[in-house]
Amino acid sequence: MSRKVALVTGASRGIGRGCAIELARRGFDVVVSARTVRPGDSFEYSSTVKKKADKPLPGSLEETAAEVRALGVDALVAKLDLAVREDWPAAIEATMQRFGRLDVLVNNGRYIGPGHMDPFEETPLELIETMFLCNVFAPLHLIKLAVPIMKRQGGGIVINVTSTAGDRETPAPIGKGGWGLGYSVTKAAFNRSVPGLAKELRPHNIAVIGLMPGFVATERMAIELGDFGFDAAKGLPVENPGRVCAMLATAKDPLVFSGRDLYGPSFYADHANVTFD
């Protein structure tokens, strides 16, 4: 019997990498997707132009895939730029060509680039449109492509990495520990997708679960966001949301959690000693 397969977006580093590795530890073959395929291939966006970053962040799909394979399962690298519509179906098609199935979709990737932490008056609305494309429309399209596959298989799990930014105001001014309006409004839309989709897909044994990871110390957080008032030293390791993701993916009845937006740190603390299949 073939192993179950998970596709994780934004898996070159950070939370996505943590999810990919923890899913691999629990026996999943993993499709890792993001923009950064090889070490050094790090990109940024303006509202209309993609450009090579001056100082690429550490991490790449090839490196994450190597870590996954070292755990005794298979990995597929699938380039997926959330701002490029053609990449959305290509990632799903590559998954099916390689593995012939898709059991878990983890929508973790989002827009990262110049302007995402700027005040509203300094932010072109075209940039917020790009954020909606990457943070809302791209993951919804991936779900739409995955649903028929999961229905044929008799079920599946969609895990959307959501954010408290979609539910509450910034705790501090933008640039001093707060975040830009584009992130808030797109995450609010993405958060709301969870309960609605869960109702529609429950009859098909497809669970849709929100995972709020909390404050996580990613590579980007440590290297780039200190100047914006974020202290990575106070953050959780990426393994924390990664393990929660893997717990949900291996739950005996994932529909128990469907439609809920789970706060990762407390969920992990409550379930760390629970055995999941």
Average pLDDT, the chain: 85
Residues written for the chain: 277
Q: Which carries the bigger pLDDT value, residue 179 or residue 277?
A: 179
Q: So what's the pLDDT on residue 220?
A: 58
Residue 45 to residue 60: CA distance in whole angstroms: 18
Q: Which domains does the chain have, with CATH numbers?
A: 5-271 (3.40.50.720)
Distances from the Cα of 258 to the Cαs of 136, 207, 277, in angstroms? 19, 5, 17
Q: Which among 140, 14, 10, 130 is positioned nearest to 80, based on CA atoms?
A: 10
Q: What percent of the chain has pLDDT over 90?
A: 60
Q: So what's the pLDDT on residue 212?
A: 86
Q: So what's the pLDDT on residue 46?
A: 39
Q: So what's the pLDDT on residue 153?
A: 97
Residue 104's H or E segment, with its range, is strand 104-107
- 51 Cβ neighbours under 8 A, 6+ residues apart: 43, 44, 45
Residue 261 to residue 161: CA distance in whole angstroms: 9
The pTM of this model reads 0.87
Model pLDDT for residues 5-43, shown as the tens digit of each residue:
999 999 999 999 999 999 999 999 999 999 989 887 755
Is the pLDDT reported for residue 277 higher than 60?
no
Q: So what's the pLDDT on residue 47?
A: 39
Is the pLDDT reported for residue 144 higher than 70?
yes
Residue 262 to residue 273: CA distance in whole angstroms: 17
Least confident of 15-24, 35-44, 61-70, 223-232: 223-232
Least confident of 96-105, 144-153, 167-176, 190-199: 167-176
Is the pLDDT reported for residue 2 higher than 50?
yes
Q: So what's the pLDDT on residue 267?
A: 86
Mean pLDDT of 142-166: 93
Is the pLDDT reported for residue 95 higher than 80?
yes
